[in-house]
Amino acid sequence: MEEKTIVCRCSDVTLEEVKNLIAKGYTTFDEIKRITRIGMGPCKGKTCTQLVLRELSAATGKPAAELKVQTTRPPVTGVRLELLAKEGEGHEA
């Protein structure tokens, strides 16, 4: 892939940016995620996770299967919009 290839379309992160961060010593997915927001877009890293892990694997010499993937934090519980609407009644924006 070329350096200007977009790795994360949601956050507009290029391969060059990922490689530069790895060269600076960021060697975990979570470190790269915190700096670039990679994996935090609407797709939740469905494409970029594997691409970043591949680059980390090449740089560290560890198999991608041994690298820790991103920490995900889903909502604790779902909230019905009806409840939010009732809560907001009487409050002006």
Question: CA-to-CA distance for 3 and 9, rounded, in angstroms?
Answer: 15
What is the pairing mode between strands 6-8 and 13-14? Answer: antiparallel
Give the pLDDT score at 82.
87
Give pLDDT tens digits for 46-62.
Answer: 889 999 999 999 998 98
| Average pLDDT of the segment spanning 33-42 | 90
65 falls in which pLDDT band (50, 70, 90)?
confident
pTM of the full structure:
0.70
Summary mean pLDDT of the chain: 85
Residue 80: predicted pLDDT: 84
61, amino acid identity? G
The structural domains of the chain, with segments of one domain joined by +, span: 6-88
pLDDT of residue 75: 59
Superfamily of domain 6-88: BFD-like [2Fe-2S]-binding domain (1.10.10.1100)
